Chain A
C-alpha cells in the first residue's frame, strides 16, 4: 500500500491568452501511493482541475515533472481513468454502449472485456438498464454508469473532478457512498477534487488543502477515523470527523465579502 504510483515534483502551469497569462499552479508537489484515495480541496480557481489534467496528460506542465511508478525500473505511464463533473453519457448510445466507449477507443472491445463491463454494470445495480438510454436513468444511476465507463478500461489511477456536484444533496450522499465503496472494492488508486469538506473527509485517506491561486500545498491531512466499517456514510459518524472538518475549514479561510 505504500509504494508510490505517481510523484508530482514542483509542477507549475501557466495559461496563456492574448491579453494575459495566468499562473494557475505553482510548485505543486505530491506523492500518491498505490491504492490510496487522495482528495484535493481548495478555493475556487486555485488550479485543482489543472493538476488533474496534468496528471491525465491532457495538458503539458510549464515546469516541474510528473513521474509515474517512481520506484520501478520501467517508469511506464499507468492507464488513467478520468471522471468529470457531468456524466457526459452519450444520449445516442445505450448504457452498455456508453460503458464500453473507452474499450472501443482503445481497441479493446473484445467479447471478454465487454462481458466484464456487463458484469460491472450488473454488480453495481444497472443490470436491468444496460439497454436503456441515459435519459431514462436517474442522476445517481447515470453517475454510476459514468464510473463504470471509466473502470471498464481497467485504469490504475482514477481522477475524479467534482464528480457529484451535479447531483442534489440526498443523491449526492448516496452516490458518494456508492462510488467510494466501488473504488475501494475494485482496489483502485484515486485522486478526487471536491468543494465539500465533509465529502472529502468521508472518502479520503489523505486530504490535500491547496492555497489560493496559484495553487500550492498548504497542508496534508492523514485521515484516521475510528469506526467499525469504512464506508463514507459511516465514516461521517466517527468522533474525529468534526475536528478534521474544523481544521480544514479554517485552512480554507473562506471569506464572504
Chain B
C-alpha cells in the first residue's frame, strides 16, 4: 500500500515531460558508453583480423592475440609486476617530490616579492627548456640508475608546479588579506589562514597536471638509462625487434597512467568536497 503511494507520489511530483527528459538523458548515456566499448572492441578486432589475413605484417605491428600471450608469459614469470612496480614507484616518488619541492618554492616566492621578481626570467626559461635535453647531464651527475630517473621526473614537473602554485597563491583576493591584516595578522598567519586554503583548488589542479608530467619524466628517464621498468621494456623490445613486448608495455602503461589520473582526480574531488 505504502509502496504504491510512493510511486504515485513520484509520478505526481514529476511531470510527464520531465520523466521523458530523464529517460532521454539515460538513453543518451547508455548510447555513449556502448559506442565507446564498441569502438575499443572494433579497434582490436580489426587489428587482429588484419594481422591474421596478413593485410598488415604482425612482425612490425604485433597482434592482439600475440600481445595477450606476451602478457601471460610476463605474468607467469612474474617480471611484469617487477617492471610495473618499478615504474610506478619512480613516478610516485618523482610526483610527490616535484609537488612538495615546487609548492615549497612557490611559497618562498610568495613570501618574498623581491625574490620572485629576481627569479622570474629564470623560471620562464627553465620552464620552457625541454627537460630531456638535461638527460645526459643528469646521468653524468647521478649515474645511470634510479636516482637519475627520479631526478628527471622531478625536473619535468618542478617548474610548472612552481609557476602554477605561485600564480594560485597570488590570485587570492587582496581584500581577504586586508581583512586578516585588520585583525593584526602576521605574514605567516596570512599564508596559513587564507592564502593556502583559498588557493587550494589551484594547487590541486597543478597536482593533476603533475601526474601526467611525472610519467613523461619517468619514461624519458627509463629510455635513457634503465635496466627495468615499462620504459625499459619498450626500448628493449624495440631493440630486439619484439614488437609484441613493446605494444603490450605501451598498453599497460596507458592503463596505469589512466588509473593514477583517476585516483588523483578522485582525491581532488574528495578533498575539495570535504572543505566544501
Contact = CB atoms under 8 A, between A and B. Distances in A.
B275 interface: yes
B176 A88 contact: yes
Interface size class of B (residues with CB under 8 A): 10 to 19
Interface stretch (B95-103, B125-133, B161-169, B192-200): B192-200
Nearest to B197: A92
Contacts of B198: 90, 92
B122 interface: no
A84 B178 contact: yes
A92 B184 CA distance: 21
A82 B177 CA distance: 12
Interface stretch (A29-37, A61-69, A97-105): A97-105
Contacts of B178: 58, 82, 84
Interface residues of A, number: 19
A102 B183 contact: yes
Contact of A105 (B175, B185, B197, B200): B185
A105 B275 contact: no
A133 interface: yes
A101 B197 CA distance: 14
A81 interface: yes
B183 A153 contact: yes
Contacts of B183: 101-102, 105-106, 153
A73 B104 CA distance: 48
A80 interface: yes
Given A56-B182, A105-B183, A90 B197 contact: yes
B73 interface: no
Contacts of A90: 176, 194, 197-198
B176 A80 contact: no
Nearest to B194: A90
Nearest to A102: B183
Given A56-B182, A101-B183, A92 B175 contact: no
B181 A106 contact: no
A171 interface: no
B182 A82 contact: yes
A91 interface: yes
Q: Which 6 residue pairs are nearest across A and B when measured between Cβ atoms?
A: A82-B182, A102-B183, A92-B275, A105-B183, A105-B185, A133-B276
Interface of A: 56, 58, 80-82, 84, 86, 88, 90-92, 101-102, 104-106, 133, 135, 153
Given A82-B178, A82-B182, A135-B276, 10 more contacts: A56-B182, A81-B182, A88-B173, A88-B175, A90-B194, A92-B275, A101-B193, A104-B193, A105-B189, A106-B184
18 contacts: A56-B182, A58-B178, A82-B179, A84-B178, A84-B179, A88-B173, A88-B175, A88-B176, A91-B276, A92-B198, A92-B276, A101-B180, A101-B193, A102-B183, A104-B193, A105-B185, A105-B193, A135-B276
